[in-house]
Amino acid sequence: MKVEFEREGVVVEARAGQTLLDVAEAAGVELFRGLWPALHCRRRRGWCGRCKVWVAEAGGAATMRLACGVTVADRELRVHTRAGGPRPRASIETGAPAWNNALSRRKETP
């Protein structure tokens, strides 16, 4: 099953039964945002509430969930992580047209 992390521009294959947290960690996507990103629940998943993401199944609306509580099944998922993590890739790298690219609107300085 494919899992797409929209903000990071990462698409990975996941096995059924994995949690989104496991998939994100294996792909190098950091879900823990804010102060002390290393502080989270580890063994007793769900109690810290720090791995919140928006999750949408193919064609469905996104809902906020805890990544440690979402199990990948036989469906493709789109995941939108919270702001505050590593900066998303610049739109010029993803092939955005020039009119929609902040870098193209930047004025050159002599």
With 90 as the cut, is the pLDDT of residue 77 above it? Answer: yes
Choice between 18 and 43, residue whose per-residue pLDDT is larger: 18
With 90 as the cut, is the pLDDT of residue 28 above it? Answer: no
Q: Indicate the pTM of the whole model.
A: 0.69
With 90 as the cut, is the pLDDT of residue 55 above it? Answer: yes
Choice between 71 and 85, residue whose per-residue pLDDT is larger: 71
Choice between 95 and 51, residue whose per-residue pLDDT is larger: 51
Ordered by where they begin, the domains of the chain are: 2-105 (3.10.20)
With 70 as the cut, is the pLDDT of residue 109 above it? Answer: no
The CA–CA distances, whole Å, from 4 to 30, 49, 51, 54, 59 equal: 14, 21, 16, 12, 13
